[in-house]
Structure 1
Amino acid sequence: MKVYDSSTGTASSPEQERVKVGIAEYEVTTSDATLTTSGLGSCLGVALYDHGAGVAGLVHVMLPSADGVEDPNAAKYADTGIETLLLEMERVGANRDSIHAKVAGGSDMLDFSENGSGIGVRNMEQVESTLDDLGVPLVSEDVGGDHGRSLRLDGASGDLTVKSANKGSKTI
């Protein structure tokens, strides 16, 4: 996991640095870097931001819970991924009481469930529960549907731009 800050020399660059967040990965920035992720179908991108501390983080989660999984990749699961991201943000100066969340993804592009909720819905239910347990308010979301999404989290402003196939772009 990399933490980007102005001491890396990127702050003097005329272009804003872009940092890719892969599937089941997370990144934190204390600079103006833009955190990006793509390929969100039933997966969710969870963006956390503390305006006062200037700390932003993004995790790309695939599944709801790591319960019963031995030695899990924390970022793969909504429950452990959000908690890990939050702890890393606090480690670099974020204040939990000032952090808010934005979420996008959770489509039901391929519904294999015969009875019950699809994985996108279950992912979102776990995200909401985990954020509530951690005391982080969810201030905006773009979830559900049957289309994929790509995200850009602006580390300077906390704006989350959601680009959807055939749906255009919007900032939440």
Structure 2
Amino acid sequence: MSAAPLIKPAPMAGDFPRKFLLPGDVYVAKEPTHISTVLGSCVGILLYDAAAGIGGMNHFLMDGAPGSSDVNPLRYAEPAFETLVARMIIAGARERNLVAKVFGGAQLSPRPTLAHLRIGERNIAAARELLREQGITVKASALGGTVGRKVIMESHTGNVWVKELRSG
């Protein structure tokens, strides 16, 4: 899954509604919308059906599935992905037409106490496994590294703009 990232030099043009995702959010748009988020160790899976012109994105914090006491299960890879696929289909996408772009999973913490958790790596592995199990092709990705990323998707075209967020 070493797809080349699709990086545009500037944000997309167009006077479309905008939706910013926080961790644990999932959003699907049938109408042209700019869907965006900022990712560090979190991962965002973006799905698109070109035939239907429908796109969506999730933003999850942790691999796996939540425990019973978690307030928002969509903060976890498995339910966030399942919800994204389900909402795409409800909106009119066909599962066999879905393609993915995947971003995030950085290792941002220089502190050894947190670095050993390898949250970004685990999130990347979870995203790859979920997409593989579902048979969804990854068309582009920018994963890992040590910098965060701002991601903007045009829901109706599947085009994505990615900017690395470096400190300093």
User: What TM bracket, shorter-length normalisation?
Assistant: 0.7 to 0.9
Confirm or deny that 1:74 pairs with 2:73: yes
Q: Which residue of 1 aligns with 2:45?
A: 46
In the TM superposition, residue 71 of structure 1 has moved relative to its aligned partner by 5.9
- Counterpart residue number, 1:141: 141
What amino acid maps onto 2:139 in structure 1?
V
Encode CA deviations 1:75-130: one digit per residue, 9 max, x unaligned: 2111211111000110110000000110111000115244xx61101100010001
TM-score by length of 1: 0.81
By how many angstroms is 1:166 displaced? 3.8
Match of 1:61, SS state, is coil
What is the percentage of aligned positions where both structures have the same residue?
A: 29
2:29 is equivalent to residue 29 of structure 1: yes
With normalisation by structure 2, the TM-score equals: 0.83
Residue in 1 that maps onto 2:165: 165
One-letter code aligned to 1:150: K
Structure 1 contact 63–119 (Cα < 8 Å) conserved: yes
User: What is the aligned-residue RMSD (CA, Å)?
Assistant: 1.7
Q: Which amino acid aligns with 2:135?
A: G
**Mapping of residues 55-94 of structure 1, within 5 Å:** 55-66=54-65, 69-70=67-68, 72=70, 73-94=72-93
CA contact (8 A) 1:74 1:84 kept: no
**Contact 1:30–1:54, Cα closer than 8 Å, also in 2:** yes
Q: Where does residue 120 of structure 2 map in the other structure?
A: 120
User: What runs of 5+ residues in structure 2 fail to find an aligned partner?
Assistant: 1-13
CA–CA separation in structure 2 for the residues paired with 1:148 and 1:87: 28
CA contact (8 A) 2:46 2:55 kept: yes
Q: Secondary structure at the match of 2:147?
A: coil
The alignment covers a number of residue pairs equal to 150
The equivalent residue for 1:151 is 151
CA contact (8 A) 1:29 1:56 kept: yes
SS at match of 2:146: coil
